[in-house]
Amino acid sequence: MGRIYEKLKGRLDVEVCGAYVEGLLNAAALSAIALWDIQCVDDCTVRLRMYETDYPALEALSEKCMCQLKPISLSGGSRDRKLIKRRVWLLLFLLLMGLLLFVSSLFIWEIEVVGNEQLTDGQVLRALSRCGVDSGTCRYSVSADLVRSQMLRELPELAWMTVNISGSRAVAVVMERQEKPEIYAESAPADIVAARTGIVRRLSVENGRPVVHSGQSVLAGETLVSAEMDSLSNGSKYVRARAQVLADTWRELSAVCPAREEVKRPNLISRSRFAVIFGKRRINLYFDSGKAIDECDKIIHEYKLGAEGLFALPVTLVREELRGYDTQLQSACDRQEMERQLNRLLLADVKGQVLGKSFTAAGGETLYVLTLRCHCLEDIARVVGF
């Protein structure tokens, strides 16, 4: 600040000639004219540095002391002040922008939600809006404790939340409630049933009473190992059946896709149009709000004014890019891709090994169907409690 003040006052290098320059120095000191870097050039000449604004006073004194002044160089001062006067509108604009920035920093213009997994940003933002935290809310009117208690009532899925406000940016930190895990009783009686239809190849029972034998065909859901066992003491007892039941199973997976589909071919027609959003009010800078091109993709680019992570202004520039396209019919099936997808589904489903598989394709003009048939050897035991 001091430097700016000195720059505006201006530093002037002056050469003083006279028979008794010391007299002028003394008179200047008595008149409170600040002088510095006073260098003796010869017996009758000194060079000194002073503020430009003091020059007229020193000039008046020099006449009394019979000395001559000769300005040598000037830095800052009137020259800079003239420049500022010439750019007064620019300065006023900068001042106005600074003022707007200050005023806008008193309000929240950007809300970010972090920590949500199940809840969407929209759900949290809508709940925040109902609790009084919205774009354009005065930052000093938001009480984090109050918002927290209201939000926990609004969204029962929340375990905890808080709102951190820095500048015009509010960050809602949420922590979601975790579902209680299902309590699983290790020793509760349970049967083992067939998870899939198949032919039992090998049965290894650790606990329980087997009700099927190797080579027997079973349907999905049919009991394989019963929890009810004979007891020597009181007739029967119930245990938690444990067994591995390896069975031959067969699967059939199908993928269907249209034989032909319309695909977009971008043409050279493209257009951009602009809009400005102040707070929540959108102002379109174009007249035809409908689509200007019959068939087109609309890509919206939004540029928020402000410094990322520091502050945000309530102004968003929007650029809508319309890219035209033509449609064309072409074959839609990609057999290799369909086979890959079917294989992926099969591997995710089978809990054993695949012994053999084959693909068959069928299709007409509209649909193409690819079927995967496979033979697997897998454990079909599934524990089912009472």
> Which residues of the chain form contacts with other proteins (CB under 8 A)?
21-22, 25-26, 28-30, 32, 34-40, 43, 46
**Nearest to other proteins of 20, 278 (CB atom):** 20
**Nearest to other proteins of 23, 189 (CB atom):** 23
Distance of CA 44 to the CA centre of its chain: 74
Closest approach of other proteins to the CB of residue 75, in Å: 18
**Nearest to other proteins of 28, 61 (CB atom):** 28
Distance of alpha carbon 77 from alpha carbon 9, whole angstroms: 5
If you write DSSP's letter for every residue of 154-194 in order, what string do you get?
A: H-TTEEEEEEEEETTEEEEEEEEPPPPPPP--TTS-EEEEE
Distance of alpha carbon 67 from alpha carbon 326, whole angstroms: 89
Both tokens assigned to 93: 């604009």
Closest approach of other proteins to the CB of residue 136, in Å: 55
Closest approach of other proteins to the CB of residue 53, in Å: 16
Distance of alpha carbon 366 from alpha carbon 48, whole angstroms: 97
Q: Which of 194, 4, 173 is nearest to 80 (CA)?
A: 4
**Nearest to other proteins of 40, 188 (CB atom):** 40
Angle at 7 between CA 48 and CA 65, to 5 degrees: 30
Supply φ then ψ for residue 126, to 5 degrees: -65, -40
**Nearest to other proteins of 22, 326 (CB atom):** 22
Closest approach of other proteins to the CB of residue 32, in Å: 6
Closest approach of other proteins to the CB of residue 91, in Å: 33
Both tokens assigned to 240: 């938690």
The 8-class DSSP code of residue 147 comes to: H
Give the Å distances, CA to CA, from 149 to 140, 236, 386: 18, 56, 42
| Torsion of Cα atoms, 76 then 77 then 80 then 85, to 10° | 170
**Nearest to other proteins of 32, 185 (CB atom):** 32
**Nearest to other proteins of 59, 379 (CB atom):** 59
Question: CA neighbours within 13 Å on the CB side: how many for 121?
Answer: 6
Closest approach of other proteins to the CB of residue 12, in Å: 15
Q: Which residues are bridge partners to 126 per DSSP?
A: none
Closest approach of other proteins to the CB of residue 9, in Å: 16
Q: Which residue is it, tokens 């017996």?
A: 43
Give the Å distances, CA to CA, from 381 to 174, 191, 306, 378: 42, 10, 61, 9
Closest approach of other proteins to the CB of residue 145, in Å: 58
Both tokens assigned to 166: 């820095």
